[in-house]
Amino acid sequence: MKYFPIVFSITLSFLNATGAWMMSQRSHGELKWNTIATEHFDIHYHTGIRDIAVKGASMAEQIRPVLMQQMGLDTLRRLDIAFTTEDEILNGFATPGNYTVIWVDQNDAGLWTGDEKWLRTVLAHELQHLVYFNTVKGPWWLPEPMNSLVTGVPGWVVEGLAEYYTEKWRPFRFDISHKGHVIRNTVHRIQDPHNDGFSKSLYLADRFGDSTITKILNHRNKAGFLYFESSFKKYTGIKLKQFNEDWRRHMNTFFYGQRAQKERLEDVGKVHKLPMKRVAAFDYFPDTMRIAMIGQMSKGQRDLSLAVATRDTAKERKIWKKRVKKADKKEEKPKKVRPKWKLKELDHGIFGELIINLDVSPDNTSIVYPKYRYGGKQSLMYGIWKLDVETKKKTLLISSMRANYPKFSPDGKKIAFVAHENSISQIYTMNTDGSNIKQITSNDGDTQIITPAWSPDGKSIAYSQSDPDGFMDIHVLELSTGQSKQITNSSEGDFLPIWHPDGKRISYTGLYEYTPNLYTYDLETGSTIQNTDVGDVVLGSQWNWETSTITAMT
């Protein structure tokens, strides 16, 4: 035990020496690094992203005084910022060592950040952490991160304040998640401190004021330490435990009250359960007897499974005959037989960032999907795979383009997909064997693209695009001319376009009033109608040819 304090101190010191390798378990010796020195920052970046680094440097200088004022901080030492595109990771981190590492060029961030761009959102968030660390630091003789262990500040405060001071509450941050926790009665068991931290910080500021937050974090006891629980009680008048319970009740009251004023899921269509746990994506086979799904095969599964469920009609008929026979004896009407499925796992892993996706070929033989893997130079990124349903053979079609959202053309001869580089996304097409890759859009500037969808005649592709202004809207690309037309205009976010069979209308998911609902745009008249107004979540998935309806997930 006499060596424990030494080992413990050394272990804690490593927290101030982490880098991007912490996430990927890979170092990248091939990268050549440079530094931009501004008045208050040293900006580190590698070859290929200087424009992003210059933009980030300007943003950092503008953000710094605002963050200091919010936290009541008069002075702040020089800080280090490292930008990298070595991995496709939608994240960043900051340490008490006064530096932050940020992964830029993240395509799915276009949906996640709302009307902002990823660089501004993540940079402000991580810089707030650095300002926070300097606000709560203890006596000069007790270095970080040991001081953080003494303060007892909950994780939700650390993450929640970074969100409260630098971001806006939005569907994917974390309104949709909160709705789910309220319905499942698990608000008090939210594990991610980003999640409950944001809403707790909003509630704290609304109830006690921003100045109270500043007083809590700047208070010190006679020994010169911040002890969060006693400081919280001093300036709010209630214990932290009571605050958490008050917040839980407030969340339940708010979301249930909001939900009561909206349509129920049962009011907008029939609700069906898929034969798999926590399904994140699915696609019908054209023969309608099978469903390809991505979800969990068992409780507690840490990754996701790609599986095919096959309708077991023989078993259904057998059960039906028994029920008919039994009902005849009792002179009753036989109960209906629920669909029976045989489930088979074909792959497992991570199949998308924010939007998990897959697509079944028109001839029923193949499935294409994105999968997270080590790509070129051992960088973590998404590649596109094709799976032969019968032979189970998997073929890697795109390995190092940071590609996602593969979709078969209606004739099954082409695959459209999205790939991005240095914060610019484009749509490409290729043959089904991965050959003949062609770029069919010509974006420039900070642009992200998600959820492309072919028109029924194969002449157009609808997709969701976040332009440099941050607004994500539905666009339609005419393949013959290469011309693209924006058909929605929203600051909220429109995505997941679904073509109607006649090619004259497109339904999509709109994030209006924080809640995903279905809308339909008429290409001939230019008019838009709202199809659903639920208080929960409705995410459009695809057109159901069997019932001539739109299938959505909730």
When mean pLDDT is compared over 287-296, 299-308, 321-330, 414-423, the highest value belongs to 414-423
What pLDDT does residue 15 have? 53
What integer is the mean pLDDT of 230-235? 98
Confidence grade of residue 425 (pLDDT, cut at 50, 70, 90):
very high
What integer is the mean pLDDT of 348-370? 96
- DSSP string over 465-523: EE-TTS-EEEEEEETTT--EEE----SS-EEEEEE-TTSSEEEEEEEETTEEEEEEEET
Name the average pLDDT for the chain.
92
Q: Do 497 and 515 meet the contact criterion of CB atoms below 8 Å apart?
A: no
What integer is the mean pLDDT of 417-422? 97
What integer is the mean pLDDT of 420-424? 95
What integer is the mean pLDDT of 110-114? 88
122-136, 182-196, 421-435: least confidently modelled range: 182-196
Q: Using alpha carbons, select from 376, 385, 377, 379 the residue that is nearest to residue 352.
A: 385
Please check the confidence at residue 488 and state whether its pLDDT lies above 80: yes
Please check the confidence at residue 9 and state whether its pLDDT lies above 70: no
Q: How far apart, in Å, are the Cα atoms of 334 and each of 110, 157, 230, 321?
A: 51, 57, 66, 9
Would you call 99 helix, strand, or coil by DSSP?
A: strand
Higher local confidence (pLDDT), 208 or 182? 208
What pLDDT does residue 545 have? 77
What integer is the mean pLDDT of 310-334? 88
What pLDDT does residue 17 have? 57
Virtual torsion, Cα 82, 84, 89, 90, nearest 10 deg: 60
What integer is the mean pLDDT of 525-545? 92
Confidence grade of residue 8 (pLDDT, cut at 50, 70, 90):
very low
With tokens 């806006």, the residue in question is: 168
Virtual torsion, Cα 299, 301, 304, 307, nearest 10 deg: -50
Q: How far apart, in Å, are the Cα atoms of 183 and each of 35, 251, 295, 551?
A: 49, 11, 20, 22
Rounded to an integer, what distance in angstroms lies between the CA atom of residue 535 and that of residue 510? 13
Q: Using alpha carbons, select from 495, 506, 441 the residue that is nearest to residue 465.
A: 495
Please check the confidence at residue 358 and state whether its pLDDT lies above 50: yes
Confidence grade of residue 1 (pLDDT, cut at 50, 70, 90):
very low
What pLDDT does residue 119 have? 97
What integer is the mean pLDDT of 335-344? 90
Q: Do 453 and 446 meet the contact criterion of CB atoms below 8 Å apart?
A: no
- Give the number of other CB atoms < 10 A from CB of residue 336: 7
Q: Do 385 and 396 meet the contact criterion of CB atoms below 8 Å apart?
A: yes
Q: Which residues contact 353 (CB under 8 A, 6 or more apart)?
A: 88, 90, 106, 107, 108, 382, 404
Domains of the chain and CATH, by start: 15-135 (3.30.2010.30), 140-261 (no CATH)
Q: Which residues contact 13 (CB under 8 A, 6 or more apart)?
A: none
With tokens 């205009």, the residue in question is: 489
Q: Do 96 and 133 meet the contact criterion of CB atoms below 8 Å apart?
A: yes
What pLDDT does residue 7 have? 42
Q: Which residues contact 299 (CB under 8 A, 6 or more apart)?
A: 277
Confidence grade of residue 47 (pLDDT, cut at 50, 70, 90):
very high
Higher local confidence (pLDDT), 336 or 79? 79
- What percent of the chain clears pLDDT 70, i.e. is strictly above it? 96
Long-range contacts of range 250-256, CB-CB < 8 Å, 24 or more positions apart?
250/203, 251/178, 251/181, 251/182, 251/187, 251/199, 252/182, 252/187, 255/178, 255/179, 255/182, 256/182
Q: List strand residue ranges (DSSP E) for 136-176, in order.
A: none
pLDDT, tens digit, 9 for 90 and up, residues 143-197: 767 777 788 999 999 999 999 999 999 999 889 999 899 889 998 889 899 999 9
| Per-residue DSSP letter, 189 | G
What integer is the mean pLDDT of 44-67? 98
What pLDDT does residue 2 have? 46
What pLDDT does residue 327 have? 84
193-208 vs 210-218: helix axis angle to the nearest 10?
110
What pLDDT does residue 16 have? 57
Confidence grade of residue 140 (pLDDT, cut at 50, 70, 90):
confident
